[in-house]
Amino acid sequence: MKLYPNLRPALLVISLLFFYSLQAFAQYPGMGAVRAQQSRQFVNQQMQMQMQMMNNLNWRQNAGKGDTYTVTFKDSTVKKVVSFMYTDTVLHKNFLVYVDKKFPKSDTIHRNQKIYTDQTKYISVIGDYRSGAEMYGVPTDSCWMFKVIDGSLAVYARSLNYLTERGGLLNETNFDPSAIVGIQLNDGPIEKYSKDNLIKMVGQNADALEAIGKGKYYKAVTRYNRDAEKAAKK
């Protein structure tokens, strides 16, 4: 991960907050592990937000850098686009940047072309470099949704970068609820991610409800999917 020089002070502050949080929570027996996980999630969220803000400010300078996306447009044309996932703070929409090298660097308007969700059918990107698994982003009004948890209860995120580094795998530690935009039960509609909708979808599954009550949403989803898979095999 590339760190910009003017981002380092903010990361130092976040690191110090993380350290002192761990020290404070260690005073309470049985709460250390839970609070430590929450602190890690908070730190990860803050770092991602800082990185996203820097990328948004420097999107022209960063054009041509980032992950390699395959973009399929509505007219069925396809382009390979190397870009970070940016956020238009005025329109409140995600976008990618395609560098059209037919135009000179001085012509930034035509050379660096923004691609918004409503221009595309879908996009894809390698989600795990070790396995080469490709993940598909479905366009919504404001972002592309990636299915990051498959199963009877599927979970969609607005960007893979919010959840896990490339080559890593999604797990309970790096699961960031703030990145989740949708959940889907079986073949039903994709609904907005919320605690209430998650409770509704897991129904009477006691293990999942217990996990939700403890704020362990990743565990709630995986437990529900585990039980649904077992039931399907009977």
pLDDT in tens, 46-62: 555 555 565 556 677 78
39 Cβ neighbours under 8 A, 6+ residues apart: 18, 21, 22, 25
DSSP letters, the chain, are ----GGGHHHHHHHHHHHHHHHHHHTTSTTTHHHHHHHHHHHHHHHHHHHHHHHHHHTTTTTTT-SEEEEEEETTS-EEEEEE--EEETTTTEEEEEEE-TTS-TT-HHHHEEEEEGGGEEEEEEEEETTTTEEEEEEE-SS-EEEEEE-SSEEEEES-GGGT--TT----TTT--GGGEEEEEETTS--EE--HHHHHHHHTT-HHHHHHHHTT-HHHHHHHHHHHHHHHHH-
Tokens for 201, please give them.
């979808």
Residue ranges of domains in the chain? 5-57, 62-142, 143-234
Q: What is the pLDDT of residue 80?
A: 96
Q: What is the pLDDT of residue 222?
A: 93
Whether the model clears a pTM of 0.85, i.e. scores above it, the answer is: no
Grade residue 3 by pLDDT with cuts at 50, 70 and 90. very low
Q: Is the pLDDT of residue 26 over 60?
A: no
Percent of residues, the chain, with pLDDT higher than 90: 41
Grade residue 4 by pLDDT with cuts at 50, 70 and 90. very low
pLDDT in tens, 129-181: 666 778 899 999 999 998 888 899 999 988 765 555 454 556 666 667 777 88
Cβ atoms of 38 and 32 within 8 Å: the answer is no
Q: What is the pLDDT of residue 135?
A: 86
Q: Is the pLDDT of residue 9 over 60?
A: no
Cβ atoms of 201 and 185 within 8 Å: the answer is yes
Q: What is the pLDDT of residue 99?
A: 94
Residue 125: closest CA among 84, 179, 155:
84
Cβ atoms of 32 and 162 within 8 Å: the answer is no
pLDDT in tens, 175-207: 677 778 899 999 999 999 999 999 999 999 999
pLDDT in tens, 78-132: 999 999 888 888 898 999 999 999 999 888 889 999 999 999 999 998 866 666 7
